[in-house]
Structure formats: C-alpha cells, structure tokens
Structure 1
Amino acid sequence: MATYVETSPVGTYTPGTTTTLKKYIDWDPQGGGASGPIFDTGFSATVNAKSRFTGAGQGIIYELAQSGELKSFKDNTATGGSLLTAAKNYGSNGNWQYATKIWADLDRIYVVDADHKLSVYAQSAPTTGNGTLTLVGTVPATNATVQALTAAQDVWAVPTRTFGNRSTLYALSGGVIKHWSYNEGTPSPGGAFGPPALGSTATVDLTGLASAVQAWSPGPGTIYTSDGAVNYSGTIAGYAGRPLALTNPEVSTGVYGAIFADTASCLNPMDQGHPYFGAPPADDDALPAEGESTPDPDPTGAQVFKGRFTRGDGQPAAGLTVVVEASDVTPDDGTEVDLPDLGTTVTASDGSWVLPLPSVLPPDVQAAADDNGGAVNAVATATGVTASGVVMQGTDHLTAAPDSAPAATRELAATVESDTDPVELLPQFEDDGAPQPTDAQYAQSWGSEQDKYTVDTLGGDPLPEWQSATSGLPANFNPYVINGVDTSTMPVQGASIEPTIAYCVPHKQVIKTSIAYTAVMEGHANWDVKATVDYDSRAATSVDAAVSVGSKNYKIEGSASVSNSFGYATGYTNRGPNFAKQWRVPFEYKKIKSTTRCQNKTYVHYEIRAGRYKVPSGGAVGNYGKDVRSADGYRNWAKAPKSHRSYVPNGAYFQLSKSRSVKFSGAVNVYGVKLGASSQYDHDHRQRITAGLSNLARHDIWGRNGAVWDKPGVIYSW
C-alpha cells in the first residue's frame, strides 16, 4: 500500500515556498507492519509547502492550495511514470479557501471549510481522479461530531461499504483515537445523493497515545500513528486486529512530515517474499555465503607509531622534532603532568615520521597497556614557529601494539596506522582563562543536535572538518588567519633553526571525565532473517580523538584504541525481521587541557579522547543505538556492485568475524563534539545473519566495502 510523506525538518520550522512529497510502501498493511516495513521507494516530487495533500485510494492524490484551488493527480510510478501526474485542475472554490481540513476515501472528498462546516463531495471518476465533483451535502458547524473532527489533531476516512455504513471517519485527539460512522440517507426526489449523515456517538479505538501527533489507515482493521518530528524520532507505530492492539512499536523511524496513505475498502494478507517496489527483481548469479568467514592472517605493522605533519596548506612540515608520549597515563585527579616519553624523531622532507614502539616500556605505561589489552595509546607532538612568530603545533593520537597483544588489538593498530591521515600544524593561542562550557552550552552544538536523531543521519559520510563544541558548525572558519594574515603558507621553523622551540613541550591535565555510549557494531535483518551482534568488552575499537584551536572549535586528529584486558560479552541476538540497529557500549572519555609554555608565553588547546570501557553506576553494559534500516532493502541491493553480493541459504547463517568494521561517523557525541569509531571483528566481535526457512525468495546479503568474504566492513540485508 502506498504511503506518502510531505517532508519537513525536525523542530521549529517556518514553511518556505516548496517542500518534497516522498512515496513509501507499506509492505504489511493488514498486519500493521508486524512482518514488513514501510520503506522509501526513492520516488519524490517538489510541491507547494503551503498546500495540503490527501490520498483517496487507487493512486489518486488531491492538492488543496491555500487559495482554495483543488487539483488532482495520479501516482504512476508503479508503471514507470511520475509520482504526480496531473489529472485535473478543479479551480478555486470560495468554500475551500482557508479550509481547516481535507481528507478523502475512494469516491468521496471531505472538507472542513473556514466556517467549520463539513462539506462532502462525490468524485465521478475515482480511479482516474479527473471526473466531476458534485456536492453531496453539508453538515453544519454546530454538529457535535463535526466539532470533534474540526478540533482533532488528525482526521481520516476508511471506506467500509457495509450495509448502512458507507465509510468510517477517524480522529486523533489528545492521545485518543475515535471513530464515527458516515452514511448517506435516502435521496430526495430527483436528487442524485442522499444527505450526509454522521454518527452521533463515537467509538474509542485506542488510548494512551500521548506521543502521537498524526495517524492514518491504509484500510479497515489497521491504524498507524506517528510521533512526528519534534522529538527527533519520526517513529511510526502499527496497530491491527479486532480489537486493535499494538503490532509493531517501530514499523519505521526517521520519517518526518505530514503523512497520508492510499486507502482501500479491504486489505489482503501480505506476500511473504522480499519487500520491493516495481517489477519483481530477478536473482543474479551471486554465490551462497555459508558458515563463518576465514580469519585474517596474523597482523603485521602494529609495532610502530607513524604519521605525517603538514602545514595548513598541505605542504610538508619538514625538519620538525616529533615527541611521542604515552597518553593513557594521564591522571584523573586534574594534576598537570609531563607524559612519559616513548621517543623522539624528526619529520622527513615529506613531513612523514616513524618511531618503533620501545621493546621495554616504562612501568606505568606497561601497566596502562596491560589494562588496555596490550594496546599502547600515544600522542605525537610537533612544534614549530613561523617567521612572524606564530607558534604552530601538530597533535596526532596514535596506537601501537607489541607482538604479545591479542590478534584483534594488533590488527586494529596495524589497520588504523596504515590509513592515518596527515595532521596539520595548527596555530596556538594564548590562554585566555575563559571558563569551560557548561553542559547546557554543549547541548547547543551540531554534534549534540545530530545525536538526538533516532536514525543514523551521517551514515558513512565523513565528519565535518571543524566542529564547534557550543554552537552549529563554524562557517568559513580559518584558524590560520592571525591578525588578518594567512599563516597556512608560511614556512615553519623547527628546533634546528629556532632552538627555543625545543623546550616547547606540552603538559597535559584532565579537566573533565564522562561516560558516553559509543556505537561499535551494527546488525541487519531486512526480511526473513535474524541479526546477531556479539561485542566482547575486551574491546578492539578505535575512536576518533579531537583537538581544538582555542577553546571551542575542534578537528579530528588521529584516534585512540580501547582494548581492555578483561572480558564481558554484550550485544543482541536474533533480532528481526525488519530490524537494523547499532550497538553501543559505554566508554570513558577525557577532556584534556594541553598547556605549552613557549617563548615566555603560555599556549593552550584542548583534546578529547576515549579511555576505557566503563559501565556507569546503575547503567547498562550496552544499549541500542541508531536505526540503520535505511541501508538495507532492494534499492540498496540493486545499487551494490555485483561482486559485493551473496546470499544465505534457507536455515543457514553467515558470520563476519574478521577485518575491520565500517567507520561509524557519528558513533558518539561527547563534550559537544561528534566522534567516529570502528571496531575489529574477531571471534569475540562479530556480526551474524541467520536466514529463515521461507522458500519464496532467497536471503540476499552484500558487503558495504567489498565481497562478504573479503573485508566487507558490514553486511547488509535484503
């Protein structure tokens, strides 16, 4: 059954000139979404934001403009046409101008006009929408049922066509859904229609719907509700049966806007095959994926720290001393410390540098590594000065692991180090003594705003280059403009030319710690499959680290590994069908003040980075993250390269337990900044898809980054 959404942004919104009407498909209308999704077909049309739209069934859509002009359209997308194929322009009607409500079912259109009376019109061509509209009659504004319909949050009709009852009119008001009968009396002599007759007594269908702001029915026996956009959820819940009962609390999420549906006088059981739109897709020549993928070979390259420093314009920062210090020994009591050195080196002509992990670590560093699954987190700092006297400093967060560390830890360290991005030297600013932002100020940031959504709005897109911890994304932010001069292209002198720079070593001080739940894995079960995610708290997860310029604007610079040595398993098992969610675990995060005393001045920047897996007192060991169902389904399967596709035989399973997961761009919001994360799959960290026994279609899967047996990152489902 077609379902349409006139999209709107989340939160307070002043309508503009146009908006978008999108088409969805309700795959299980009879069951209220119990066994199938409401999925986006990808078809859309640009429409007038001040018009109102309603569906009448059989693909007919009516648009009522604010001026009172009524137009009808036919949805021809199922046969290759457009979403809004013009059928007829009925012109303006003075009674419709500024009408408060309009809804329809098959051959009837109901309008509550500006005077609050209800007018009912008959459509002579309900299958094409281009017939003649004839006034059946009106019901005065004084009628109690009309008053209830006028005051309701949402109103809709379901054609019933049973004896003595032509349709059923529903209304949502104050968390309660009620309905009234609608019929047409005996026609007057020579009249074409009988007068409209509304039932005077309402029947209560559902109560306790406090969060529902709109509702609709695809046909008899089913009601859907939506919590709208104001709470960032956009959750559709389904109800079906007699009496009506909740069938699915999350049929879909992330659907924002005014919703209406095609409507029918009866609903048939759903087809248990694949959800799709259009012609049934043909099976391709994909190979079956059975059992568990082979493990990765023993990792190499994890025993070194390496990186590359550049100027702000991307040119190499050569000849700078790089100081590498162990970062996991920062005390939590706020004491300012000089971190333990792991060694120094000098950047090459291309700005690159390499430093082997010491074979013998300082005792406190070794103890921190033992608690971190053998991973050694470090911070590499390169400091220089421009000819104009601006101090430049690059800060890179890195991970290395000795041969004694578990394979997952070493593999993660090797993988992260192999794709490290260059780190730009950033101007350093003097300490202004400004107080740290409050939690209320953090809540105003772009990262905090993104975190409110229940669906993954970032997907695999990279994070913005700069984020503000206390407001929206900084527009046209250029940290290199100092006193009106762009310092990004200036040569940077190291200690060999400017000896005083050799003593410009930062000291670290933890000024705040907090625990935040971080997305580490996700499972997908689009159809007749179940999703399982296992995550051992001997975490093998790399989380972005952020470095500030000044006190508010942050940039991602490297990452820290969370690889605890103790183990508690968490995750979810056999969730589905029509299910896909991230799994989040609690990590402790530190906000660190970095102070560099250089050339008789004190410079300050801030760093945000992950520490350890830590369950808050009374908190969950893990919880569900964002809905990622939008990555599944036929449209995404059809767009995926054929080399990425496979399928799971009936009753079998496939398990991803090697290589690195995808990078979850919006894995966590902490101190107003959004950070990404990726995990290492192994026998303790895995994603599994288990196929059901349906023989109506095969259970297709595909890898995001490659074939399912060759570093796919994550497995999607259709």
Structure 2
Amino acid sequence: MSSLKRSRRRHSTSVRTLALLTGALTVPGVSAPAPAAAAATCSSTSNVYVLEEEPGSGKKNYFDRTLRKYVDFDPQGGGANAPLVSTDHTAKIPWTAKIVAGRAGKFYVFDRNGVKSYRDATAEGGSLLQPVSTFVDAGIEWLSFEKIWTSGDTIYAIDRQGAFKAYMETSGTKLPPGQKTFMTAPSLATPDPAMLQDLRAAQDVWAEGGKIYSLNGGVIKKYAKSGPIGSGYGVTVIATNLKDAVQGWSPGNGTVYTTTTSRDYSGIVRGYTGTGTLSSANPNVMSGLFGQVLSDTPECLAPATDGKPVVGPPADETGLPAATAETDPAPEPVPVGPRVVRGIFTLGNGKPAAGMNVLLETTDVVAENPATAGTAVLGTTTTAADGSWSFTLPEQLPAEVTASAAANGGALNVSATVAGTTSTGVPMVGLDHTVAAPEDPVTNKPTAFGAAVSGEQHTTAMIPAAAPETVFSQPTAQQEASTYAAEQAASSIGSAGPAPSWQSDNAASDAGLNPYLVNGSDVSGERVTLYASGTCHTQRIFLSSRIAYTTVAEGHAFWDTYATVDYDNKLSTAVDVAVSGGGDWKASGSVSLASNSGQSTGYTNQGPYFARQYQVPIEYSKYKFTYYCGGIAKNSYQKIIAERYKVPAGGAVGKMGADVRYKDGYNAYVDSPKNNRAYVEPGSYFQLSRGKSAKWGGAVSVFGVSLGASTTYDRDHKQRITAGKKTNYRHIIWGRSGPVSGSPGLFFSF
C-alpha cells in the first residue's frame, strides 16, 4: 500500500456524522430526526457512498472492496458553499457482488446467491450495511445486466439483449418475515430506441426524482416522463463539453456532480447546478475521490448553513491560546559550528562502517552549464568505531567554492563519500549530502540562510555500486509512467507520508526489494575493505537535465478563513538527493538551494475550504559518478541532484500544487495534539515567517523518482491565515510538528 493511500486513510478515518445545532453541524450519530409531528423538513446535507477499489490500470481486484460514506454539506449549491467530507463509516463488499443505492440510505446487494437489502444504520450507532431483507427471486439474472441503477424503490436495468426492465420489491403474502420478492414495476414508461441506445452506450447512468440521466463523451442528458404514466420519456441535453467526466450523480434540486476518474486518486469532484442547462458551481468540490459513486436523495434540499461543518460531538476548545501575527514562532537557534559537517556511515545491516576514509566534495554546480560543471575536493576524514565522522571546512576555500556558496545564499552543499569492496569482491559506496555555512567574504559571518540549513546529521548505509565501466541504461517514458513517482505525480491530493525506502525508475517499486542481494548472496553484513591507499576523488559525467515543478509551500483555510502563501524573490528550499548503484534509487541527504532570481509570488486570500500546495520550477540533473583511488577507477553510481530555480520556456514562475484539504477540518483537529492548538481572532491573521517547514513527501517526481523537500521561512517565504469576521465559532489552527508559537513546520485549519 502506498504512502499516499496510508495518509489518505489516516486523515479520513475520524469523520463522524451530522446533526444541526445552533449554527453548526454536530452530534455523535447522524442527522437528528425531525419531530414526529412535524412535516418533513428540507435537508442541507445529503449522503454520498463510494465503492472504493484498489487503484490500478483496470486489473481485476480479487479482494473485498470498501464502501465508504461521505457527507455533502451543500447538495443544493453543488458544493459551492461547503465541503464534501469522508466519514469513518465503511463496509466491505465482495468483488463478486454488485451494489446499488436506493432512497434514504437503502442498498441492494446482488451476488450469486441472490439479492439482499441493507440500510445505513449509522444514525443510531449501527453499521453502514445493516441487513433488512432477503429476496426470493427465480429467473432474474441480476449479475448479467449491462446497466443497473435505482430511483427510489424502483430498480432499473438493461439486459444483454438491450431490453429495458424495471422492478419493485414486494413482501408478498406467504413469505416468511424478513423475506421479500420483486415484481415488474407497473405502468412502466418504456424508452424509445434512441434513448435505449444512449443508455446502453453511456459511461454512467443514474436516476433522481423520476428522472434518468446518462453521461457519455462529456454530454449529460436528462430523460423525464413527457406525459401520462406509460407515455415515454422526453430528452434534454443539460451539459456538454465535460471532457474529463466519467461518472455522475444528482442529490436533487437541479444539482449534478461528476468525477474525473473512478480508477485512482486523481479523481476530482465537480459540482453543477441549473434548472435547464447546467452551470459550474464548484470545479473542485473535493479531490482524491475514486470508485463507484452511489448517491442518496433527500426528500428536498435546503441551502448550506452558515455554521462550521462540524461532525461528531462539540470540539474541545478549552485552553486554546490566541494566535496573532505578533506570536510568530521564535527563530531557531543558530547551529554551533556552521563550518562543520558530520554524519554516520553504516554497513547495509546497520552496523558501523568503522575506519573508512570519507571524501568531502562540493555538490553545487560551479558553472552555469551543468554539462560542464565540476566538483571541488574539500578534504578527507575517517569514520570512528561507531561509524561517525565530522569535518571542519578549511579556513581558506578555493575561490570557486566561495563563489558557489555566495551564489547559493551562503549555504555550501557538501557530499560525503566512502567506498570499498566486500569480502566477496562486491563494490560498495556510501553517499551522504549535507550543508555547511562558510563565512560570507564581506561580513565574515555565516548568512542567516546558511546558518539555518546547516548542521544536520544523517545516518547513511552503504549500498552496492556498479563496475566503473558500467553504462547505465535510462528508463523510457513508458517505463517512468509505471513508477511510484508517476503515481504521486498523477494524484490530485498531496501525500503526507514518506516515499518507499527504494524506488524503481522503470517499474512499480517492489516493497520486498533487498538491494543487497548480489549474485544470489546477501552482502549487507559483509566486511568492507578500503581500496588501496592513494588520493581519492570522483569524476562526474552529466547525463541529462529536466525542469520539474516542486512543492515548496502549503496553505490552509477551513471555515471562514483565507490562506496566503508567499514564495517571493528567491529559493529557500532543501530537496532530497537520490542515489543509485545501478538498480533502484533511494534518498540520501539533501541539497539546500537559494537564489536571487526567482519571481514566483504564491497565492493570496484563497478560501474558505481551501488548502493547496505551491510549486516552483527547479532544474534537476542526473549524473554518473566514477570513484577513483590512486588514479584507478574503482566503482560507479548515479545521482539526481536539484540544481537551481529555472522557469521553462513559456512556463509558469510558480503554480498551484496538490489539494491537501484532507489535513483540515473537524476530524484532523480532533486527532491533533492539544498543545499544538490555538485560535485566530476574527478579522486578524497569523503567519509563519521563521523556522523550517515540515518536509513534504513526494514534493517532486523527476526522472521516475519521487523526492521530498522542505522550505526555510523568512520575510520572503511565509504561510499566512486570515480569519473572517464570523464570531459564532473560533477560527482554530494547529501546528503539524509543534505549537504554533514554537516550531510548527506547517499549520492546519478548522
């Protein structure tokens, strides 16, 4: 299971259900029932159910599927004024069964043993699929129907011969309790041949309020009875040019929703409203929905309420401090000895790599053209008995190194390399990447950026390397499209989880991969012997470069709030370095990038119910490295390194990234640490402009590999939230990594 799926499940497993209190929606159940004596009231919410399958390219999934309940907080407005959220109510559906939804939370499940009906009993604390009836029917081949859908208590179907059928359930007169049967629906309005052809060819068919809808090729048609019962249907085209829509549903009152895919996490829900031709109400009601949609239809719909979409018992707001612009987090302490780089090298099995020579070089591109750029040797050191090492930059650095650091905001990217052979002759290499902060030649002090990003220490395992003469094969575009990185890039929702330890750049990653299995033997624990004595260095050969949009910021705004992300004037970001000994890739340290030429401006006052990442274009280069000792080539390996901010010809200086709304709202708030919470006064704002952001997993996909990134906040790089003026609820925020007044990394919104 991918980290994307794990993060999505984690953030969608605590939504409760609904009820209407004074201005907000809250209770530990579902919508509070109307008083018995009162007439039916219109609902401002409706339920949506999604049958989720494991994402993939159409492969048969021989495992149970998950039926998941969502709540639409603005069905009348097509999601324009309130969100669509997932709940923690789920049920399993065998892959051999079909399921359709009836009215008021009713379901019919068809399998080889017949038909059973269920109801959504979560309102009373029951299950999502509580059994109701078993149907006794001979001669109805439910699983063979080409299309099957419901309208109220009527089940519609089209069989393999193209015949239109309709059935209604009946208790009969002699059936035991809990058993029912079906009968042909009376006074059936039969479609004409053109309508029947439309329905058979449609990508999706659904019904609502006696009307039937079809979606095919971006066109939605509505079929309504045009005269007395049994007289047939009239057809109206209500939407065209919906090129990315693959399925749809309607909660009623002229609202129609579509999804852009049913097979993976890139699905975007779009909302439309209108009494005739549909108009766009919200082009992105939610992202990340996938699967077969089964919609419930309320008796009638009311506008969205003005309160927070609160689900479950009232949120605990006790002891919340006020967060204001004046309570920006305190600056992080300047690392001691910013000229020092350090780390730990281990064998593949985690035991110390002791007594290894560590070669320290610059990582930064010295020349404007990466194809002609080189590295500079800074010095060497030796690992201690526990595998640790440290190195202090020389007082006098080569002029090109000083210039490189100055051009990079005062941060000097350093690579650390150890190499040798195992007892069975397998070449091994350890590759770490860290940052130092030499003194600025003008001020004789490290820059604020250099000091902020230096001082990290990594533990790095040695990996098998390739022979020095190896010519590394490069994946094709088709191969890259099948990778974990491609899955991340295609998803419309951001992943909160880390990438796999190892990634293939030409196929889906193998979770069970053992990179230390060489020629049938596991070399992870073999002793590594140094190469023969002599001066060591690396030779870098440029392979190719690409520009890829990389996540560098993230903003959040839930109820009555607005998000602003500033990423102005220059880079201020650390990006993973990927390394490969010739097989799969892994992240190994990072490079920190700064510049004075970036011009992307982020976004301003987006919301409410908004949360998006922000991306800027960064150029990445892939290199082959050959390790030399005593003038003899010993091994080779590859690296993918972020180089600089670079706008592609005709490209954007920055753009919106993935949708991360699943990190906000009631459920995420309930799961958040209490010490990390605060609230923003109505009409005021809070921002992060110091410290480091949290790390984004899957910040960029390049060369078939997914890499993480983080940003250093300063006056040009900020996350801000502005509260509206509503006072019936607090505008709550909380830090991801700590209190908002400390070092939160990111903050979220409720």
TM-score by length of 2: 0.86
Using the alignment, how far apart are the partners of 2:138 and 2:451 within structure 1? 73
Alignment of 1:111 with 2:161, yes or no, is: no
**2:241 aligned with 1:218:** no
| Aligned counterpart in structure 2 of residue 320 of structure 1, from 356, 362, 370 | 356
Distance in 2, matches of 1:708 and 1:686, equals 14
Deviations 1:7-34 (A, max 9, x none): 1224323242521111111111011000
Cα shift readout 1:174-198 (whole Å, capped 9, x = no counterpart)? 221121223895xxxxxxxxx6443
Equivalent residue number for residue 60 of structure 1: 106
Conservation of the 8 A alpha-carbon contact between 1:525 and 1:580 = yes
Aligned partner of 1:32 among 78, 96, 109: 78
Query: What is the 5 A alignment of 1:419-568?
Result: 420-424=458-462, 426-456=464-494, 458-459=495-496, 461-474=497-510, 476-494=512-530, 500-550=532-582, 552-566=583-597, 568=599
Shift of 1:258: 0.7
Deviations 1:644-679 (A, max 9, x none): 222222222111222211111101111111111111
Superposition pairs for residues 636-655 of structure 1, below 5 Å?
Answer: 636-655=668-687
Deviation at 1:488, TM superposition (A): 2.2
How far is the alpha carbon of 1:265 from its aligned partner? 3.6
Counterpart of 2:14 in structure 1 is none
1:156 aligns with 2:187: no
CA distance in 2, matches of 1:326, 1:73: 65
- Once the two structures are overlaid, the 10-residue window that deviates more, 27-36 or 91-100, is 91-100
Name the SS of the counterpart of 1:615 in structure 2. coil
Separation of aligned partners in 1, 2:712 and 2:182: 64
Q: What is the identity, as a one-letter code, of the residue corresponding to 2:514? A: N
The residue identity in structure 2 corresponding to 1:82 is: S
Hey, what does 1:573 align to over in structure 2? Answer: 604
Amino acid at match of 1:561: S
Displacement after TM superposition at 1:117 (Å): 3.3
> One-letter code of the match for 1:480?
Y
Q: Do the aligned partners of 1:385 and 1:501 also contact (CA within 8 Å) in 2?
A: no
For the pair 1:410 / 2:441, whether they are aligned, the reply is: no
Matched, 1:617 2:649: yes
Paired with 1:62 and 1:108, the residues of 2 have a C-alpha distance of 11
Superposed counterparts of 1:353-372, under 5 Å? 353-372=389-408
For structure 1, the residue ranges without an aligned partner over 5 or more in a row are: 160-166, 186-194
Q: Find the aligned partners of 2:296 and 2:417 in 1 and give their Cα distance.
A: 61
Counterpart of 2:622 in structure 1 is 591
One-letter code aligned to 1:577 = P
Retained in 1: the 8 A contact 2:551–2:614? yes
**1:10, 1:229 within 8 Å by CA — same for their partners in 2?**
no
Deviation at 1:331, TM superposition (A): 4.9
Does the CA-based 8 Å contact 1:330-1:508 persist in structure 2? no
Asked if 1:145 is matched to 2:195, the reply is yes
**Retained in 1: the 8 A contact 2:48–2:295?**
yes
State the alpha-carbon separation in 2 of the partners of residues 477 and 489 from structure 1: 16
Task: Note the C-alpha offset of 1:70.
Answer: 2.4
* Structure 2 residue aligned with 1:296: 331
Alpha-carbon distance change, 430 to 635 in structure 1, aligned in 2, over 3 angstroms: same
**CA RMSD, 1 decimal:** 2.6
SS in 2 for 1:94: coil
- The alpha-carbon deviation at position 579 of structure 1 amounts to 1.5
Counterpart-to-counterpart distance in 1, 2:189 and 2:422: 81
1:681 corresponds to which of 691, 709, 713: 713
Distance 2:180 2:311 in 1: 29
Specify whether residues 133 and 184 from structure 1 end up closer, same or farther in structure 2 by C-alpha distance, changes over 3 A only: farther
2:5 counterpart residue number: none
In 1, the alpha carbon distance for the partners of 2:211 and 2:518 equals 69
Q: Determine if contact 2:572/2:594 at 8 Å carries over to the other structure.
A: yes
Distance 1:139 1:181 in 2: 10
Offset at 1:434? Answer: 4.6
Q: Does 1:240 align with 2:283?
A: no
CA distance in 2, matches of 1:72, 1:220: 27
Please tell me the residue identity of whatever aligns with 1:564: S
Question: Residue 500 of structure 2 contacts residue 511 of structure 2 at CA under 8 Å; is this kept in 1?
Answer: no
Which residue number in structure 1 is paired with residue 120 of structure 2? Answer: 75
Higher deviation after alignment, 654-663 or 338-347: 338-347
Structure 2 counterpart of 1:382, one-letter code: V
CA 1:391/1:104 → structure 2, altered by over 3 Å: closer, same or farther? closer
Q: Is 1:181 matched with 2:201? A: no
Sort the Cα spacing of 1:489 and 1:322 in 2 relative to 1 into closer, same or farther, 3 A.
Answer: same
1:99 equivalenced with 2:132 (yes/no): no
Distance 2:416 2:155 in 1: 69
- Secondary structure of 2:534's counterpart equals helix
**Which runs of 5 or more residues in structure 2 are unaligned?**
1-45, 172-177, 440-444
Determine the structure 2 residue equivalent to 1:582.
Answer: 613
State the distance in 1 between where 2:136 and 2:305 align: 41
CA 1:116–1:603: 2 relative to 1, 3 Å? same
Q: What secondary structure, in the 3-state scheme, does the structure 2 residue paired with 1:617 have? A: coil
1:210 and 1:38 map into 2 onto residues whose CA distance is 22
Summarize the Cα distance change of 1:382–1:306 in structure 2 as closer, same or farther, 3 Å threshold. same
Distance 2:170 2:609 in 1: 40
Over residues 417-448 of structure 1, what are the superposed CA-to-partner deviations in whole Å (9 max), with x where a residue is unaligned? 15x23343544434233543344443333222
Moved more, 321-330 or 469-478: 469-478
Paired residues of 1:24 and 1:39 also in contact (CA < 8 A): yes
Decide whether the 8 Å contact of 2:534 with 2:629 is kept in 1. no
Distance across 2 between alignment mates of 1:143 and 1:565: 67
Amino acid at match of 1:40: S
Q: Which 10-residue stretch deviates more, 13-22 or 1-10? A: 13-22
Conserved in 2, the CA contact under 8 Å of 1:479 and 1:549?
no
Aligned to 1:658: 690
Count of residue pairs brought into register by the alignment: 688
2:454 match: secondary structure: helix
Read off the aligned partner of 1:490 and give its amino acid letter: E
**What's 1:171 paired with?**
214
Measure how far apart 1:597 and its partner are. 3.7
Deviation at 1:329, TM superposition (A): 3.6
- In the alignment, the residues of structure 1 paired with residue 194 and residue 425 of structure 2 have an alpha-carbon distance, to the nearest angstrom, of 79
The alpha carbon displacement at 1:334 in A equals 7.1
Q: Which residue type is aligned with residue 702 of structure 1?
A: W
CA distance in 2, matches of 1:130, 1:196: 30
Residue type of the partner of 2:379?
A: G
Change (3 A) 1:343 1:697: same
Q: Is the 8 A contact 2:466 2:581 kept in 1?
A: yes
Matches within 5 A, 1:5-20: 5-8=50-53, 9-20=55-66
C-alpha separation in 2, matches of 1:709 and 1:485: 52
Asked if the contact 1:104/1:157 (under 8 Å) is kept, the reply is yes
Check conservation: 2:137, 2:181, Cα contact below 8 A.
no
* Contact residue 518 and residue 586 of structure 1 kept, 8 A: yes
TM-score in terms of structure 1 length: 0.90
**Pair 1:15–1:327, CA change in 2 (3 A):** closer
Whether contact under 8 Å (1:516, 1:588) holds in the other structure is yes
Q: Secondary structure at the match of 2:405?
A: helix
8 Å CA contact retained: 1:372, 1:562: yes
Pick aligned residue for 1:309 from 330, 336, 345: 345
Partner of 2:184: 135
Aligned 8 A contact 1:96 1:111 in 2: no
Equivalent position of 2:238 in the other structure? 205
Look up the SS of the partner of 1:583 in the other structure.
Answer: strand
CA distance in 2, matches of 1:524, 1:124: 51
CA separation of 1:112 and 1:338: change in aligned 2, threshold 3 A: closer
Counterpart residue identity of residue 412, structure 1: V
